Structure 1
Amino acid sequence: MSPRPGPFDPGAEGRETHLVLENSRGRLSLWPSWRAVPAGWSAVFGQAPHPACAGRVEARRR
């Protein structure tokens, strides 16, 4: 077992484990908060629990 959760592991309930990132094309990505934000992306929401971040990404799809 690795010491860090996988990038898409929701983590413990209620813990602020994720970010929502956006790139210059307006695309969103659900991202684990413990990983560095990649070049070309910026955090637009979070740190927040996984369900809150996933909800933000999903809402944009509609």
Structure 2
Amino acid sequence: MSARTGPLDPGPEDVATHQVLESTAGPRSLWPAWREVPAGWSVRFGPAPYGACAHALERGPDAA
């Protein structure tokens, strides 16, 4: 059985693998940096390592 990775897997600590997106309606989301940003969303933080993005997402919209 092989290990598979998905778009929200952390990846290497020192690699900018993710970003935090914000929609025009206000919700925020953790998003893989290699994927195209969907219509109606914009990058709020990153690209940065997964941990930094997760931390920015937890801190809220005024902190990123």
Q: Give TM class, smaller chain.
A: 0.7 to 0.9
Corresponding residue of 1:50: 50
The normalised TM-score by structure 1 is: 0.84
The normalised TM-score by structure 2 is: 0.82
Q: Which secondary structure state, in structure 2, belongs to the residue aligned with residue 20 of structure 1?
A: strand
Runs (4 or more) in structure 1 with deviation over 3 Å come to none
Structure 1 gaps of 5+ residues are none
After superposition, the CA RMSD in angstroms is: 1.8
Separation of aligned partners in 2, 1:58 and 1:25: 18
Separation of aligned partners in 1, 2:13 and 2:51: 9
